[in-house]
A = this chain, B = another copy of it.
């Protein structure tokens, strides 16, 4: 049974806080093992990368075989189901349209003193995209990472994807092609992250690494952070549905299970002011579980981490939702739009009963890489800005330097940085 808590009960705050701080993932102690792999690839390049690939993916390659060739990609795309490729293309186009609106504007202005100020945005030159192997290899995620990078103007989008026993998912290769990926290497794990960060003879280094991965990949990303940029460290996924009595219990149950089927550590939460709806959703979840292919995973998630929270009135859901800061928030109330304006912390909001989160996962156009584990309190979903950086610009003439200089000299001296003050004073013939 999922956790069921009621704001009317005396111990609500205590139980809600316990729920909030509940750990869904146990961090494995793999830092030392990961560092050994990363350091080895940093030091020995291709040789270390090939050894690790032999060991972990049971794949015996030469350096010349690391790169997936255009012919292989072409063959993979040809082997894919045509309808699926069409759906991927449809998704790609919508993701591209949405993300083009995120392109930031440069700014340049002259203030009252005549000082010219501003900034210029530019794309990161080369980005690495980690794609997991096995069952977690989602072609949709390839699009969600690659398309914003291309929209930003990144020239080199370098994909790494492990091919355990030599197997690659053709749809992942098709998504890479559609997403504009420039190079693909059949390597994974900490060794692939290290290769992207430090470069090898075969793989030129990148400046930033994005994309989800297992605990080793996450640990390796933390370790190379600073040498290169990284995106957020993704945790298990979660959905919060806020619904009133008017909502459809079957639809909510389906959405809770769509989240739960991802991973036994995923989390599905319903907050409602309707006890009737709460009961109906719980029954509907049970009914739908009986025919779900991934029922075992979904049931584990629902029973261990699922939650139904009953509130007296719907507005009581607002502080709870802001504390949960869900990756995905579905609002199915009489006026979802008005309710959504009260929400501050959420990765993405899905308004009304006809916007199941699965639409956002695939074809809505917005990004499905979103902050998990309450990190929507301080971070955003992936977007074009993650693939760009801003350079600020400052320009003074002699008059402006005369106007600003004395205050700068005062502050430089106050901070004990005389050379700072002097660099201004010298130009103004002041000491």
Contacts and interface: CB of A to CB of B under 8 A. Distances in A.
A390 B381 contact: yes
A345 B34 CA distance: 30
A90 B406 CA distance: 11
Nearest to A368: B392
What is the total number of copies of this protein in its complex? 2
A242 interface: no
A130 B395 CA distance: 30
Contacts of A254: 419, 422-423, 426
B90 A117 contact: no
Interface string A53-87: 00000000000000000000000000001011011
Given A378-B208, A380-B389, A418 B294 contact: yes
A5 interface: no
A362 B407 contact: yes
Interface in A346-391: 346-367, 370-371, 373, 375-381, 383, 385, 389-391
A260 to B, nearest CB: 7
Interface string A210-229: 00000000000010011011
A390 to B, nearest CB: 4
Interface stretch (A134-142, A156-164, A273-281): A134-142
A97 interface: yes
Interface residues of A, number: 124
Interface stretch (A180-188, A307-315, A396-404): A396-404
Contact of A412 (B171, B358, B365): B358
Contacts of A12: none
A140 B347 contact: no
A376 B404 contact: no
Contact of A408 (B119, B225, B361, B417): B361
Interface in A246-289: 250-251, 254-255, 257-258, 260-262, 288
Interface in A152-204: 171
Contact of A414 (B81, B383, B424): B81
A4 interface: no
A229 B262 contact: no
A390 B345 CA distance: 9
Most chain-B CB neighbours within 10 Å: which of A122, A228, A408? A408
Contacts of A250: 426
A117 B347 CA distance: 14
Contact of A376 (B116, B119, B389): B389
Given A86-B407, A292-B418, A376-B391, 13 more contacts: A84-B410, A87-B407, A87-B410, A139-B415, A140-B411, A229-B379, A251-B423, A257-B419, A258-B419, A262-B417, A294-B418, A352-B397, A359-B408
